[in-house]
Amino acid sequence: MKQRFKKSAKDFFEQQQLSDDSLNAFEDMLVKETPITAVETVSVKTRTLKYYALAASIALMVAVGLFYLPGANNLSLDIANEVAKNHIKMKPLEVKTQSLSELRQYFTALDFSVTRSDVFGLNLNAMLGARYCSIQGITAAQLRFVNEADSNVTLYQVPYDAEPFGGLPIAEPGDSPKTIYVRGLKISMWVEKGLLMVTAEESL
């Protein structure tokens, strides 16, 4: 996505910038209509115009860039698509347990402790197990549950960082999770206990 933005910004910048040929033609036109004594002044003015055009192009490019840089919504959609893809693949569980302590003993490569969510609706007795996964390139835990409809529900936990994940609802003040529907799945995401938590389940 960043590469596409860089190319679009480059193309936009090149379209806004006056070419040397255009500047020379404009200068020749002014010279024809201006006394010889003013040619040097005209040349300076046209070159100054070039710098103004360049500065304006840069300013406009920055403004467009700030507007189109991946914001919270785009980051959330990226997360939702990645989580949906992981959910659909449903790779084999690496550990089968209903115990948080056993999960913590297994996830030794994580730099955080898997925890119980007060927002997530399913209890530990509905957990099938877990496996390693990743979100936005950051190692995460995928916990798998089964709901009353006998459908798999996955819960992902990873340390929250606003830079790769964007701004998201925080559970502690009482914010409701952000919900996105992709690939026929309902994806919910929120921040709780310093962790980004994301769930994936079949949409009704």
Q: How high is the pLDDT of residue 73?
A: 76
Buried b (16+ CB within 10 A) or exposed e, 160-186: beeeebbebbebeeeeebbebebeebb
Q: pLDDT tens digits, residue range 141-173?
A: 999 999 999 999 999 999 999 999 999 999 999
pLDDT band at 68 (very low <50, low <70, confident <90, very high): very low
Which of 24-33, 129-138, 173-182 is predicted least confidently? Answer: 24-33
Q: pLDDT tens digits, residue range 88-117?
A: 999 999 999 999 999 999 999 999 999 999
Taking the CA atoms of 135, 155, 170 and 109 in sequence, report the sign of the dihedral they define. Answer: negative
Structure tokens at 113: 């402790």
Structure tokens at 10: 């480059």
Structure tokens at 4: 């596409």
pLDDT greater than 60 at residue 64: no
Q: Is the pTM of this model over 0.75?
A: no
Neighbour-count burial of 199, counting CB atoms closer than 10 A to its CB (0-12 exposed, 13-18 middle, 19+ buried) = buried
3-state SS, residue 82? helix
Strand partners, 198: 156, 189
3-state SS, residue 116? coil
d(CA 29, CA 114): 72
Which of 69-83, 152-166, 170-184 is predicted least confidently? Answer: 69-83
pLDDT greater than 70 at residue 41: no
d(CA 76, CA 88): 18
3-state SS, residue 14? helix
94's enclosing H/E stretch is none
DSSP code for 136: T
pLDDT greater than 70 at residue 193: yes
DSSP code for 36: G
